[in-house]
Structure formats: C-alpha cells, structure tokens
Amino acid sequence: MRRPRLSSTRVNATVAADKVDGRAVRRSLNKTGRYVRKPVKDPKSNELMEEHGVGYSSTGLVAQMREQGNEWQQGEVNVKLAKAYGYCWGVERAVRMAYEARNAFPDKRVHITNEIIHNPEVNQRLRELDINIFEEEAGPKGKDYGAIKEGDVVIFPAFGATVQEMQLFRDRKVEMVDTTCPWVAKVWNSVDIYGRKSFTSVIHGKYSHEETVATASFADKYII
C-alpha cells in the first residue's frame, strides 16, 4: 500500500499517492517558526486542568492517598489506590499541551485534527474551551479541513497526524501544536528507517485508528 493523496482542503488516508519523505516533512515544520512540540508547563493551564479534573491530581484525596502509601481510611472504610492508574505519561502531556495552546492563543481559532485522546469527558472539556475537534473520517473523501484558515491554531492529537496533514497545515501557515506522544513518534522513526532499507512494515493495529493511519503515512510499503 502507498501513502495517501494530499488535496488543498481534504486528507484521505486510504487513497494511493506519490511517495512523500515523512522525515523531511517533520523537519520542515521546525523551520516554520509556527511549530510547538513540547509543553511549557504554564501554571495557569495546570490550574485549569486541576479544576477540570483532567490532569495528574496534585491536590485532593487522590494526592493525599499517594502520600499515605496509596491508602485512605475513614472509620471502618479502607480505600486502596492502584499503583498504576489514570492517564499514561503521553496522554497527560497531550492534554496539557492542548490547554496550554488555548491559553497561549486566546484570540485565535483552535482546532484538533481528531479527539485529543479517546476520553469523552476530556474532549468535552476542550470543546467548552471553544476548541473545535474534527471527528473521524466521514465518507470516502476523508476529512475536510477547508474551515481551517491561515493564522488558526491546529493541534495534532496524542495519536499523531499523517504526513499529508502536516504538509497541508504547514503550507496553510497555521500555528501547529504537536502533542504526539514521543513513543508514537519513535515508532514513526523505526518505520522510516526500515522503509529506506526496502523493508515492508507490519503495523499491528486497528486499520482506521488515528495512530495506525499516521504510522502508515510514514511507511513506503506496509501491511496492517
């Protein structure tokens, strides 16, 4: 299978296309001056995440339980907190960057190319912050990004974005906030390296999942 075709407003991840150098495209984003790929640890955004209950709790009962050996006791009630719970590091990082983007660009239109993570409550919180979320593909023509204009802010979700989407938004001169989990990007690097050696990449994942689609866009030849 080959990479998808790029149009001026739509991106369809299932259509064959000419080869695109994903590594070169990613590097080109850094040269635009409109690309952010690391959180800035903005205190105001952290406070709002805490208020909304979408971050790594630093206050309240959960924080207290962590300090007390992951247990809380009240009378005859004893509650134990699992050692591993909540968001993974990459997801928490992505949500934080989305909040920071909204705070950094208060007067700009902000979009996300898909759900930031698959958590309805978190996505609803972002909508309440007036962040537009493009849902999964609707029909054979793919997603229509025609509503996104120059100067808007586009967030790439934790699952990543396709090479074609990166090209589209780079050329449209939008502000890009890339929240892709670094562990996902590491897979992209591997796919790219082996692709240059003429290997076929075997991608183990749901065919239409955002992370699978993004990873496939970096491959020359692949099987899902």
150 vs 38: CA distance, rounded Å: 22
Q: How many domains does the chain have?
A: 2
Task: Residue 91: name the closest of 196, 179, 223 by CA.
Answer: 179
Same domain, 159 and 66: no
Q: What is the pLDDT of residues 68-100, one digit of tens each?
A: 888 999 899 999 988 877 788 899 999 999 999
Asked if 98 and 148 sit in the same domain, the reply is yes
The answer to whether residue 196 sits within a structural domain is yes
Q: Residue 118 belongs to what domain range?
A: 22-38+89-222
**Are 29 and 134 part of one and the same domain?**
yes
Angle, CA of 220, 194 and 213, to the nearest 5°: 45
> Is the same domain home to 129 and 187?
yes
> Quick one: 76 and 181 in the same domain?
no
Q: Which helix (H) or strand (E) holds 177?
A: strand 175-178
Same domain, 67 and 173: no
Q: Does residue 8 fall inside a structural domain?
A: no
Give yes or no for residue 8 having a pLDDT over 70: no
Overall average pLDDT of the 120-146 stretch = 85
Q: Quick one: pLDDT band at residue 63, thresholds 50, 70, 90?
A: confident
Higher pLDDT, 132 or 64: 132
Q: Locate 145 and state its tokens.
A: 């990004």
| Whether residue 135 is found in the same domain as residue 99 | yes
The answer to whether residue 16 is domain-embedded is no
Within a domain: 103: yes
Provide the 3-class DSSP secondary structure of residue 61: helix
**pLDDT for the residue 16:** 40
Is the per-residue pLDDT at 143 higher than 90? Answer: no
Indicate if 70 and 174 belong to the same structural domain: no
Q: How confident is the model at residue 130 (pLDDT cuts 50, 70, 90)?
A: very high
Residue 3 counted as domain residue: no
Do 121 and 185 have their domain in common? yes
Per DSSP bridges, beta strands 10-11 and 143-144 are: antiparallel
When the pLDDT of each residue in the chain is averaged and rounded to a whole number, the result is: 87
Residue 4 has pLDDT above 60, yes or no: no
Answer yes or no: do 205 and 109 share one domain: yes
Asked whether residue 184 is assigned to any structural domain, the reply reads: yes
Q: For this structure, is 211 an active site residue?
A: yes
Which CATH number fits the domain that encloses residue 202?
3.40.50.11270
Of 27-36, 57-66, 109-118, the least confident: 57-66
pLDDT digits (tens, 9 = 90+) for 160-191: 999 999 999 999 999 999 999 999 999 999 99
pTM (2 d.p.): 0.82
pLDDT level of residue 5 (50, 70, 90 thresholds): very low
Is the pLDDT confidence value at 6 over 50?
no
Mean pLDDT of 207-213: 91
Co-location of 52 and 126 in the same domain: no
> Is position 166 within any domain?
yes
The contacts of residue 42 (CB under 8 Å, 6+ apart) are 99, 100, 103, 104
Mean pLDDT of the 127-149 span? 84
Amino acid at 118: H
Q: Are residues 115 and 144 in the same domain?
A: yes
Question: Which whole-number Å values give the CA distances from 22 to 8, 27, 165, 218, in the listed order?
Answer: 18, 9, 11, 5
Amino acid at 190: S
Q: Which residue is catalytic, options 92, 115, 175, 211?
A: 211
8 Å CB contact between 65 and 77: no
How high is the pLDDT of residue 97?
A: 96
- Please report whether residue 138 resides in a domain: yes
